[in-house]
Amino acid sequence: MHTGRRRFSKSLACALALPAAWAQAKDTALPVPASLAQAALTAGATGEPLVLLISLPGCPFCELVRRSYLLPARLNDGVQAWQIDVLNKTALLIGFDGQPTTAALQTKAWKATFTPTVLFLGSQGQELAERLVGIAVPDFYGAYLEQRLATARKAL
């Protein structure tokens, strides 16, 4: 009887510690574009769509998408994955129209303020595939990402 309680207590302690560990984990980095148009041109030159992660610092789900899916795809498969911070109101970002904006304003204009959201964009900023919003089922996320990438590549 006591062994069962101890196991339960240990399991509960581990479960409660997990969010704290996620909060303390340092975010992995994807490049942050200075210009969306330039990032899209770079992607297009390699035959790829611009894959843009709308992220939030400290978001464990954003980190999961970044670390487990987008960063490996960028390093191993040439996917042109970048990220912008949904809360960044200070750093200058050149929009697809050549005008200065911020990541916060741009994500609001795209109605992409839920994180993580992954956009698949063409050279003019048009969405080439349905966006990936959230990460409800990590087991299927890779398949959803591959499906969206295939759709976006066909639309280029």
State the pLDDT at residue 17: 42
* pLDDT tens per residue across span 94-129: 999 999 999 999 999 999 999 999 999 999 999 999
* pLDDT tens for each residue of 23-38: 444 667 899 999 999 9
What is the per-residue pLDDT across 138-155, written as a single tens digit (0 to 9) for each? 899 999 999 999 999 999
Q: Which of 34, 8, 26, 151 is nearest to 92 (CA)?
A: 34
Domain architecture of the chain: domains with CATH: 27-155 (3.40.30.10)
- 138-147, Cβ contacts within 8 angstroms, sequence gap of 24 or more: 138/64, 138/68, 141/65, 141/68, 141/69, 142/69, 145/69, 145/73, 145/118
- Determine the residue type at 86: V
Query: What is the average per-residue pLDDT within 14-30?
Result: 53
Distance CA 153, CA 45 (A): 12
